[in-house]
Amino acid sequence: MILRCIECGKEYDPKEVRYRCECGGLLEVLVDLDKAENVFNGKNITLWKYKSFIPAEKLVSLNEGGTPIYRLENLQEELGMKELYVKNEGANPTGSFKDRGMTVGVSKALELGISKVICASTGNTSASLAAYGAKANIKAYVLVPSGKIALGKLAQAIVYGARVVPVRGNFDDALRVVVEASKELGVYMLNSINPFRLEGQKTIAFEIFDQLGFVPDNVVLPVGNAGNISAIWKGFKELYNAGFIENLPRMIGIQAEGASPLAKAFKEGKPFEPVRNPETVATAIRIGNPANWPRAWRAVEESKGLLESVSDEEILNAQKLLASKEGIFVEPASASSLAGLIKLKELSRIEPDESYVLITTGHGLKDPNVIIENFKLPEPIEPSLEAFREVL
């Protein structure tokens, strides 16, 4: 196993704490695929089932992974699609896909003998790092945009015992501080710039193949800091390079309109430019300068995929649709994958006869306010059968 720069190819020893190449490029972990085991039999699915692909020992775990895949029977008919699935990452221990990155990232931190870990977060990463830090008995510092993090996520970070540091600014500002702190103050950064985080998250690809028994034509997911789309693409490529699969999916990344620098560059055929003041109801992906954008860009190009953006209204409609038609309650950022699929279908940019797996990245209960604020409860009734008869 080695660390290699995705830009210039320079290699580094993975025992060294390092997040970027000397040239500034992002680093990726190259694992030895000759040792990869073909365990794809549809049984006993958990993240660490794929340990032969994972460049860390399992030192801390909360039984992450093994999240359910659902066929969207009601919605696929309504939308006129042939084969639609959701992989619901809200079913992870702290309610988001971040747990996959953290079981590997915090295990790596323990291996390196680290006692303090840090991240910037729109919410889910902080909840997850706080939980895994607690389990590993190391101190977690989480920097969050002040006033812009969903209530449930904040409660999680607090109760798991992290040191919660609100920052006057957005996620991009908080990440800047975290990057500097990791250089100057010796705390270990567990944002997705850290390549070991992605090594955990790539198992979403393994599970999709393991659960379905085939590779879907398309994988659709929300894009914020752009780590997850890169990780899942890496997972599929490893399966392909190990000789376990014969085809690869298209990666379709969806951003919120007010925070869509990648989708904008893609659609306008222009170079990537950060968005200064990102804004969206989907606070999890309220990010204007995605740190992993070069990886994500490659994932979309190599896979012949797409990038699209959706409005807040489209996101909230998709959230309601997924809950009321399929019984799956996801947070707004996660609903952007369905919102994106609906938009791309309407624009005739996607093929209705192909298979699609939507990744829903976080649980709806993390952010209940957005639902309650948009719904007016009726007046209470008298506690009598007569009063209820009027309702029925």
- Residues forming contacts to ligand F0G in the complex (CB under 6 A) are 96, 98, 121-125, 192, 222-228, 284-285, 331, 333-334, 361-362
Q: Which is nearer to ligand F0G, 109 or 333 (by Cβ)?
A: 333
Closest approach, Cβ 125 to ligand F0G, in A, equals 3
Angle of CA points 300, 124, 261, to nearest 5°: 35
CB of 152 to ligand F0G, least distance (A): 11
Helix, strand, coil percentages in the chain from 3-state DSSP, rounded to 5 = 45, 15, 40
Question: Rounded to the nearest 5°, which phi and psi values hold at 171?
Answer: -55, -40
Identity (one letter) of the amino acid at 42?
A: G
Closer Cβ to ligand F0G, 40 or 162, answer by number = 162
In DSSP terms, which residues pair with 213 in a beta bridge? none
Minimum CB–partner distance for residue 118 and ligand F0G (Å):
12
Least CB distance to ligand F0G at residue 19 (A): 15
Cα torsion for 103, 108, 109, 112, to the nearest 10°?
Answer: 160
- Looking at the chain, list the stretches that DSSP marks H as alpha helix, in order from N- to C-terminal side: 73-79, 98-111, 124-136, 151-159, 171-184, 195-201, 203-212, 227-241, 261-268, 293-302, 312-326, 332-346, 369-373, 385-391
- Is residue 295 a contact partner of residue 231, using CB atoms and an 8 Å limit? no
CA angle 120, 132, 187 (to 5 degrees): 45
User: Measured from the CB of residue 167, what is the shortest distance to ligand F0G in angstroms?
Assistant: 12
Asked if 201 and 67 count as a contact pair (C-beta separation under 8 A), the reply is: no
Least distance in angstroms from the C-beta of 224 to ligand F0G: 3
**CB 124, min distance to ligand F0G, A:** 3
**Closest CB to ligand F0G among 111 and 173?**
173
Nearer to ligand F0G, 220 or 333 (CB): 333
User: Position of tokens 């089932």?
Assistant: 49
Nearest to ligand F0G of 40, 178 (CB atom): 178
Nearer to ligand F0G, 144 or 321 (CB): 144
Residue 40 or residue 258: which is nearer to ligand F0G going by CB?
258
218 or 292: CB nearest ligand F0G: 292
Nearer to ligand F0G by C-beta: 40 or 131?
131
- For residue 377, the SS3 value is coil
Looking at residue 227, its amino acid is G
Least distance CB 80 / ligand F0G (angstroms)? 26
Under a CB-based contact definition with an 8 Å cutoff, are residues 249 and 219 in contact? Answer: yes
Q: 252 with 340: CB under 8 angstroms?
A: yes
Supply the minimum distance, in Å, between the C-beta of residue 378 and ligand F0G: 31
Distances in Å between the Cα of 242 and the Cα atoms of 30, 278, 374 are 13, 40, 48
Interatomic CA distance for residues 242 and 248, integer angstroms:
13
